[in-house]
Amino acid sequence: KAHRKKERKPRRKSCQRQDLYVDFSDVNWDDWIVAPHGYHAFYCNGECPFPLAEYMNATNHAIVQTLVNSVDPSLTPKPCCVPTELSPIAMLYVDECELVVLKTYQQMAVEGCGCR
Amino acid sequence: RASAMIPEIGRNNLIEQAAKYGTNTREDEIVNEFEKKLLNMFGLTRRPTPNEDMPIPRIMQHLYKAHMGDTSDGPHDLYPGWEPGFDLPSDDIASTVNTARSFHHKDEFERIEGLPDHHIRLLFNISTLPPNENLKYAELLLHREEIKQHVSLPDEDRMQRINIYEVIKFPDDDVTDTSSFDDVTEEQNRILEIVNKRRNKFGSQKMREPITRLVATRLVDTSNTTWERFDVSAETQKWLKDKNHGLVVEIVRDGDESTPAPDVTSHVRLRRDVRNENEPREWHHKRPLLLTYTHDGKETNLSRRSRKKR
């Protein structure tokens, strides 16, 4: 009855948003940034395999690139997993003139990833 | 390299990575370029290195919390005497700006020759505002603390008037020009003092008082504690283009404009209170403040953020 399980290759994760918390003390910026102490920046990682699922937000270009890759991988790699939507964060900090500044910075955190 | 944007370990790793590129540019130059990009991203010219004990005005901390939509621990709970109504400027303004900066006045210029002692000059050096930022709004904040003895007084005795004047011109702008007051050295101050003494000795035909213009007036009740906010956008705009002589504030009894109000120092915090042992830390949080609101052209704003559940 010995049943040998079919060994499967571990499936690589498909393109999705991954956790990344940027702690300002890790980069020694905590002496001039008052708030926040850090923020969830996230990052995008994973494969963009065929078939490109709906949630991968593939562009027409990515679909064509997938097709070309399927014909001859030496012509082009598969599409890349990249941020498709970013959001701003606000920071309270002391500037180089020792003025206290509250400012919002665009494109600081990943909201969504996709295959591009 | 305490003043570098990139920590030492990160710098070394980046130099190693740059070396693999095999370009003609030196690895440390490539990393320096990256460091410049980081500074540009924040609109900085160099890495800030503030003093460890530099106090951050509570108003700015509150503005940050207000922007984040954090009302869980209102500032009135954290700081006794805080006005609960204090908030970001109206959304009409907050939605058109993405940067707020706080400026303290230069204490050393708070007296003006030719004006009565109870007239306090507030001179803010806003010359460090980045030229690529568009000034949309500016407000002057004055902190008032209740005068406990006034609580039981009748209404008419509790009321005082705050008058804010813009200093348009000094009798002799060349001598009293303070547009570059950051660069005034001790030697220049000494010369200015001698010039003024000589003028007093020999008499001057010129008008002694500066020309001022009333920009705001408000009747206040001395039996409560709050921050008074005055729109000084027009004046601040002028300072960016022309000479900056600052503002003058006077507090007078209501109905008797010629008499300075008593207990001014303990009511409206225009000056340090040497009798208070908690100074100067308390002074830092309650001293007059100029808040400027600017926009740098990037697609963000300071509107109150809605709390999103991820």
B57 touches chain A (CB under 8 A): yes
Residue in B48, B299, B310 closest to A32 by CB: B48
Write out chain A in H/E/C secondary structure: CCCCCCCCCCCCCECEEECCEEECCCCCCCCCEEECCEEECCEEECECCCCCCHHHCCCHHHHHHHHHHHHCCCCCCCCCEEEEEEEEEEEEEECCCCCEEEEEEEEEEEEEEEEC
Q: How far is A21 from chain B (nearest CA, A)?
A: 14
The rounded mean pLDDT for chain B is 80
Q: What number is the average pLDDT over the span B7-32?
A: 86
pLDDT tens for each residue of A64-115: 999 999 999 999 999 999 999 999 999 999 999 999 999 999 999 999 999 9
Res A49 pLDDT > 90: no
Report the length, in residues, of chain A. 116
pLDDT tens for each residue of B271-305: 877 776 666 677 888 899 999 999 999 988 998 87
Cβ–Cβ of B49/A101 closer than 8 Å?
no
**What is residue B170's predicted lDDT score, i.e. its pLDDT?**
79
Residue of A nearest to B133 (CA): A103
Q: How far is A26 from chain B (nearest CA, A)?
A: 9
Cβ–Cβ of B67/A104 closer than 8 Å?
yes
Residue in A35, A90, A96 closest to B48 by CB: A96
Which chain B residues are closer than 8 Å to A23 by Cβ?
none
Residue in B52, B56, B300 closest to A106 by CB: B300
* Dist CA B104 CA B60 (whole Å): 12
Q: Give the residue numbers in A contacting B (CB under 8 Å), as ranges.
A: 27-29, 31-32, 34-35, 40, 88, 90, 92-106
pLDDT tens for each residue of B98-138: 999 999 999 888 888 777 878 899 999 999 999 999 999 99
